A and B are shown apart, each in its own frame.
Chain A
Amino acid sequence: MRSKTLHIKLGQKLENLKSLMVMQDDVVFKEVFIPSYECSGLFVYINGTMDYPSFNEIVRDLSVAQVVSNHPISIEQSVISKICSVKEQKVSTYEKAMEFIFDGKTLLFIEGIEDGYVLNLEKEKMRTFGEPSTERIVRGPKIGFIESLQENIGLIRQYSSHPSLIVKQHKIGTLEKRTIALIYYQGKASDSLLQEVNRRINKVKATDLQDSGMLEELIEDTSSSPFPQIQNTERPDKVLAALQQGRVVIMIDGSPFALIAPTTITMLLQSPDDYYERWVAGSFLRGIRYLSLFVTVFLSGIYISLVSFNPGLLPTELAMSIAGTRENVPFPPFVEAIIMEVTIELLREAGIRLPAPIGQTVGLVGGVIIGQAAVQANIVSSLMVIIVSITTITSFTVPQYGFGLAFRALRFGAMIFAAVLGLYGTTLFFIIVISHLSKLTSFHEPYFHPLDFIDKKTWKDALVRLPKRKNGGEPS
């Protein structure tokens, strides 16, 4: 019965459709009488997906008197002329009809016409464009992507009107069909990159995805690495800059995060407002960010190794004062550091999950009160509290949240290496991290590219943000 073609009789159609969707309480069947053609019609749709004002308009249009014409016009022709603004296509089988109904379309059947019309009266449910919440900047465009793919593409098209901007859309998934869009500049993105992206997306065609984060993990080069090899962003300006550099942007319906491939580590450490602020300030901030990365990962480790293995390498006065603060602390530096670092990570996690006003309270209570109390109770030394606070603050400076997470996790590795092998262990951990980065690739392109720092053409953008060239030098 499902694959049968539609009956010509309207009553029969209604009955068959009803029996096919007997469990679906939210399917609405609305019969209308169209006075000008003296025939009845049937609308079928799902409650809640339809935009009522436009529905009313269609009904009114259909009801108004027929134009007097010398030529005989069939009912079909005149109906089509009235619904042409929203009509998408025709359906002729029950199966197809049901597919469209559940896709959120409205179906119109007219007495005496076998086929049904698919009308797009869909009201997309989405929030309005707002400021991106994960990548805030002080100066620059304050608009971020939303969950609707078509709106996001519209946003990109609005700023980039060049016809060589290609938007390729596929459907992926089995249960839920999601639209996924591949966006790139033809001629700028290399063919091998496009091939690779297409190949990887084809591989995951049969996976149901809720967010681009799931896609990211499925298509990246080394999913066992702590570092994200594909950049995600909510900001259209970042996407546009990446497109201009010949990168491919992947967006998926239902996710406000666009994926940018290939990614390099320097991209993850740049914020768009580096380019919107004055260049001295931009370079300064970029330098601060590189420094804070190093501090995030290694400061606790250096503290542990210096205090527990080589206090002799510290200046005498500093060594004395550290020994003073640690006098009553019963734990070795490693245990002390782990207690504080774990506490602060817990506080952070708790702060994110709680509603915003309470989250801040937790941060305050945790940071200030627990820290103070822990020092007074001689569980940790005051210097340790300072070090943990510094590493926590520095870990927030990474513009990309997921990238910052990687470094927060790596910090514990550095601490363990420091506890076992002291300064040599910390250095070894540094070597291992750098080796790992050197081996990483993003869509077969090198991920870590230290030559960026040395090469005449690229170093300035990696290390500092030098003034833009006036003759059409493109930003980033």
Chain B
Amino acid sequence: MTQSDGKILSVELAFIISCGMLGVGMLTLPRTITDNINSPDGWIILIFNGIIIGLFLCLLVFLLKKHQVSDYYTYMEEAFGKWLSKILGFVIVIYFIGVASFEVLAMSEMVRFYLMENTPVEVVILSLILASVHLLTGKIKAIAKVCVFFLPLTIVIVLLIYLLSLRVVDLKNLQPVLGNGILPVLKGMGEGHLYFFGVELFIFLFGLVKNQNKVKKGILIGFSIPVILYVITYVLVVATLTVPEVKAVTWPTISFIQSYEVKGIFIERLELFLLITWILQFFCTHTIYFYFAAEGLTKIFRNSYTTNLIVLVPVIFLLAKIPKNTVEIFKMSDVLGYVFPFIFFALPILTFLIVQVKRGKRSG
């Protein structure tokens, strides 16, 4: 298996999807869900939405396989024609740039808040962007390897931290289950898909997988790792901090880790480890979106990939400079949240239907 063929294994697909999903969501998700439904029932939403999206992923795999999509941009061109597909592609690229920029911004905010109050955020943002450019010159294969290395590290460290937290967890805080009735939960479910940012990358990764018959397994594993982590996180955080407090803090997951100390080992403050591993995850998420933005531009304008990387550095940097405070940062994620269902649900279905009709006409 050589490095340069640009194909990934289904295992690597799983890791890329997981790393793409595990970004800022893990740290803020208990607050956003609880804000929405105002009760500790978020885990139900997570599980049900996870199952629904999992099923939808199976459908997507089926659709993409049926049309033997090897490259999503050419597939869109087949459906919408040259110009409309370019415009659509450009919208998608802007969305990718937005997410990339949002992730690096969220990270810089976290770093500023917990690690380095006096360092200008510009330095943090720019250094991360440049580091990811360094990795991106190695294309998808190098990204896959970094994900494969970082994700197990993250999972092991996070689970260890959670294990040590079990002392302070009080499951009574999660009760009553469905105390406000089922309606708020159903309402929350409508917006529940937003917690699964990153899974939409799958449709662009599909054609890159070498062993096509294992794609479904890969994507489902890659999707279920974050979902399981999200559910565990939600339960632990809300059970420890209680609903009103979760709603009050910006980074509930970090606050949760800060709420207890483990005496007797070298480091008592475990949030240190969470912060470090989450910088790794922010980096992965940012890099993956950055890659798809650059790759998308290459497909649309048919210019060199390296040029696009260089052009995107100032774009992502300046975009990350727009929001002035934490509130505006999270507003940015709301805006991106409106585009997500379009790319993940509407676009693939629509493209499939049009291509199906067109191909049907041609053969018939």
Any A CB within 8 A of the CB of B69:
no
**Contact partner, A449, options B119, B145, B269, B271, Cβ 8 Å:** B145
Q: Is A444 in contact with B4, judged by CB distance below 8 angstroms?
A: yes
Point out the residues of chain A lying under 8 angstroms from B4, CB to CB. Answer: 441, 444
The answer to whether A455 and B272 touch across the interface, beta carbons within 8 angstroms, is: no
Would you call A451 and B280 a contact (CB within 8 A)?
no
A454 interfacial by beta-carbon distance below 8 Å: yes
Q: How far is the CB of B145 from chain A (nearest CB, A)?
A: 4
Contact across chains for B272 and A424 when beta carbons are under 8 A apart: no
CB distance B267 to A450 under 8 Å?
A: no
Cβ A428 vs Cβ B128 within 8 A: yes
Binary interface profile of B, 126-140, with partner A (CB < 8 Å = 1, else 0)?
Answer: 011001001101100
Q: Is B115 an interface residue (CB 8 A)?
A: yes
Asked if B103 CB lies within 8 Å of chain A CBs, one says no
Pair A446/B11 contact, Cβ less than 8 Å: no
Task: Report A-chain residues with C-beta under 8 Å of the C-beta of B116.
Answer: 309-310, 421-424
A169 to chain B, nearest CB (A): 28
Contact with A along B247-287 (1 / 0, CB 8 A): 00000000000000000001111011001100110010000
Asked, given contacts A315-B266, A444-B2, whether A434 binds B124 with beta carbons under 8 Å apart, the answer is no
A412 within 8 A of B: no
* B314: Cβ under 8 A from any A Cβ: no
List of B residues within 8 angstroms of A445 by Cβ: 1-3
Chain B contacts with A in 1-24, Cβ cutoff 8 A: 1-4, 9, 11-12
Verify B145–A438 contact, CB threshold 8 A: yes
Kindly state whether residue A427 has any CB partner on chain B within 8 Å. Answer: yes
Determine if A435 and B267 form an interchain contact, defined as CB atoms under 8 angstroms apart: no
B148 within 8 A of partner (CB)? yes
A423 to B128, CA, bound (A): 13
Residue of A with least CB distance to B146: A438
Residues of chain B lying within 8 A (CB to CB) of residue A313: 267, 269, 271-272
Could you say which of A315, A435, A444 has the most chain B C-beta atoms within 10 Å of its C-beta?
Answer: A435
Distance of A455 Cα from B1 Cα, bound (Å):
15
A contact residues around B12 at 8 Å (CB)? 451
Q: How far is the CA of A175 from the CA of B272 in the complex (A)?
A: 60
Q: Kindly state whether residue B220 has any CB partner on chain A within 8 Å.
A: no
Q: Is the CB of A435 within 8 A of B131?
A: yes
Q: Is the interface of A mostly helix, strand, loop or mixed?
A: helix
The answer to whether A436 touches B276 (Cβ under 8 A) is: no
Q: What separation, in Å, do the CA atoms of A444 and B4 have in the docked complex?
A: 7
- Interface: B205 (CB within 8 A): no
Q: Which residues of A contact B312 (CB under 8 A)?
A: none
Q: Which of B145, B267, B268, B269 contacts A448 (CB 8 A)?
A: B145
Chain B CB within 8 A of A409 CB:
no
B152 to chain A, nearest CB (A): 7
When the two chains form their complex, are residues B267 and A314 in contact, meaning their CB atoms are under 8 A apart?
yes
CB distance from B7 to the nearest CB of A (A): 13
Q: How far is the CB of B134 from chain A (nearest CB, A)?
A: 5
Q: Which of B4, B111, B137, B142 counts the most A-chain CB atoms under 10 A from its CB?
A: B142
- Please tell me the number of chain A residues within 8 Å of chain B, measured between CB atoms: 34
Q: Are B145 and A424 in contact (CB under 8 A)?
A: no
Q: Is the CB of B146 within 8 A of A435?
A: yes
B149 touches which of A310, A318, A427, A434 (Cβ 8 Å): A434
Q: Which of B9, B123, B272 meets A421, CB within 8 Å? A: B123
Question: Which residue from A315, A425, A451 sits with its C-beta under 8 Å from B148?
Answer: A451
Query: With A and B bound together, what is the CA distance between A455 and B150 in angstroms?
Result: 15
What chain A residues lie within 8 Å of B266 (beta carbons)?
A: 315, 318
Question: Taking the complex as formed, is A470 at the interface, i.e. its CB lies under 8 A from any CB of chain B?
Answer: no
Q: Which residues of B contact A428 (CB under 8 A)?
A: 127-128, 131, 279
Query: Which residue in chain B gives the minimum CB-CB distance to A444?
Result: B2
Residues of B within 8 A of A424 (CB): 111, 115-116, 124, 279
| A residues 293-310 touching B (CB-CB < 8 Å) | 309-310
**Distance (whole angstroms) from the CB of A340 to the closest CB of chain B:** 21
Instruction: Output the nearest chain B residue to A310 by Cβ-Cβ distance.
Output: B115
Q: Inside 8 A of A446's CB, which chain B residues have their CB?
A: 1-3, 141, 145
A432 cross-chain contacts in B, Cβ below 8 A = 131, 134
> CB-CB < 8 A to A430: which residues of B?
280
Is A436 within 8 A of B115, CB to CB?
no
A438 contacts B142, CB within 8 Å? yes
In the complex the two chains form, is A454's CB within 8 Å of B148's CB? yes
Give me 24 A-to-B residue pairs in the complex whose CB atoms sit less than 8 angstroms apart, sorted by A's number: A309-B115, A314-B269, A318-B266, A421-B116, A422-B115, A423-B116, A423-B275, A424-B111, A424-B115, A431-B280, A435-B134, A436-B134, A438-B143, A438-B149, A439-B138, A441-B3, A441-B4, A444-B3, A448-B145, A449-B145, A450-B145, A450-B149, A453-B149, A454-B152
Q: List residues of B whose CB falls within 8 A of some A CB.
A: 1-4, 9, 11-12, 111, 115-116, 119, 123-124, 127-128, 131, 134-135, 137-138, 141-143, 145-146, 148-150, 152, 266-269, 271-272, 275-276, 279-280, 283
Given contacts A435-B135, A439-B137, A444-B4, 17 further A-B contacts (CB under 8 A): A309-B116, A310-B115, A313-B267, A315-B269, A424-B111, A424-B115, A424-B124, A427-B279, A428-B127, A431-B135, A434-B146, A435-B142, A438-B142, A444-B2, A448-B149, A450-B145, A451-B145
The 6 closest A-B pairs by CB, nearest first: A439-B138, A435-B135, A450-B149, A438-B145, A438-B142, A450-B148
Chain A residues at the B interface, C-beta cutoff of 8 Å: 192, 309-310, 312-315, 318, 421-425, 427-428, 430-432, 434-436, 438-439, 441, 444-446, 448-451, 453-455
